[in-house]
Amino acid sequence: MKTRPYQTVLFLGDGMADEPVAELHGRTPLQAARTPNMDAVARNGRSGTMLTLPDGFPTSSDVANMSVLGCDLARELCGRGPLEAASQGITLGANDVAFRMNFITADADGILRDFSGGHISPRDASEAIALLNAHLGADNIRFYPGVSYRNLLVLSGAEFSADITSGKPDDHHGDPVADYLPRATSPAGEHTAAVLRGLTARAAVLLSGREANGIWLWSGGKAGAIHNIGQRYGIRAAVISAVDVINGLGRCMGMEVKNVPGATGYIDTNYEGKADAVLQALADGYDFVYAHVEAMDEVSHAQDLKLKLQAIEDFDNRLIGRVMASAGDNIAYVVLPDHPVPLATGKHTRTPVPVAVWQPRNSGADCPAGPAGSPPDDVQSYDEVSAARGSLGLLKGSDLMDLLFRPFKT
């Protein structure tokens, strides 16, 4: 392994990319928001776009973040359930299937009104999980609390299968819940689908009268074999996030999870705490720090323009700016979303996302897209339109990670 001439911080703004908004006179939120620090990364570095949600795969954050981190989706994608189980330290056996479980709000007609159950509080979620375990749990059926509405169901036994589909709840606001109940994708999944539908129906009775009055079971899978990022690139890596799917993915890839008090996965997250955790990881000698913020995704799903602008500016100022002011220009900085969430629909899209990469000059390393620290291109600001004109072009697969770290791998 070569000695790395610099460390790298990747700032991941979940769902940050968007489309032109009429209220912003045809600009995107990234174009309209005040983002001097992301603009500095673009101005001093190189820009491009990245395809993170290729055709044939779900438009979900596990897929998108696995793409950013250079995973082979066809071979390594295992579903959110196992990743979130890994984050919680839940060891899955060979016959265990883990499903992501949202607490949701449905109206009297069975229409999905809120995929987050009113952003249920952790205390209320834990109480509801205890209720589900008391009445629906068994030796082979266990519910686990996560963060707010993001929870888990683990089914244990050879009779259970991961051959299930049910859709993403945040894609189906205003749709009948009954139309998206779990169903089998093969004969082997029929029994599991029936069990999941039964649990969903019984949970609705147990939770009746609460704001979070139902559950949505989705993205199940078994523990898979995801590559170790440290072994692939010869780096020591850390991940900082408030949500289990990202922390679980990082853990599965051999990254050290750094927990931050007050990190909520929402607009009120502890940006300064995350920034300080990034700086501490750099001080501790980590080569790569993956700093993930969920807030933009959440407010985009809620189609709240004001909060999206606030979240983008907080991300830029309170996290990125705080890190850059302390770490200086001997650090490589990367900025991108994992996927777009246009305010017009509140749903993920497959549109390639804007990427900006600022690597220190005169590092002496070479990489596929040109020497690390190459002179900046002509892009002056960080946004969807400007990035598309950048010198990096369209990145796919492991292109971004190879650009950042292949020079340091013998």
Indicate the domain borders of the chain. 7-75+227-408, 82-221
Collapsing DSSP to helix, strand or coil, 358 comes out as strand
The model carries a pTM of 0.85
pLDDT tens per residue across span 228-265: 999 999 999 999 999 999 999 999 999 999 999 999 99
Give the pLDDT of residue 268.
95
Distance CA 289, CA 258 (A): 10
Give the pLDDT of residue 28.
98
Give the pLDDT of residue 361.
74
Distance CA 172, CA 188 (A): 26
Give the pLDDT of residue 409.
53
Fold (CATH) for 7-75+227-408: Alkaline Phosphatase, subunit A (3.40.720)
| Residue found by looking up tokens 């999941």 in the block | 196
Give the pLDDT of residue 373.
55
Give the pLDDT of residue 4.
61
For residue 16, which of 387, 318, 353, 320 has the smallest C-alpha distance? 353
- Tokens representing 56 are 């044939």
Give the pLDDT of residue 362.
55
pLDDT tens per residue across span 197-218: 999 999 999 999 999 999 999 9
Low-confidence spans in the chain with pLDDT less than 50 = 1-2, 363-371, 410
Largest CA distance in the chain: 64
Give the pLDDT of residue 1.
43
For residue 375, which of 6, 42, 44 has the smallest C-alpha distance? 44
pLDDT tens per residue across span 346-386: 999 999 999 999 999 754 444 433 445 578 999 999 999 99
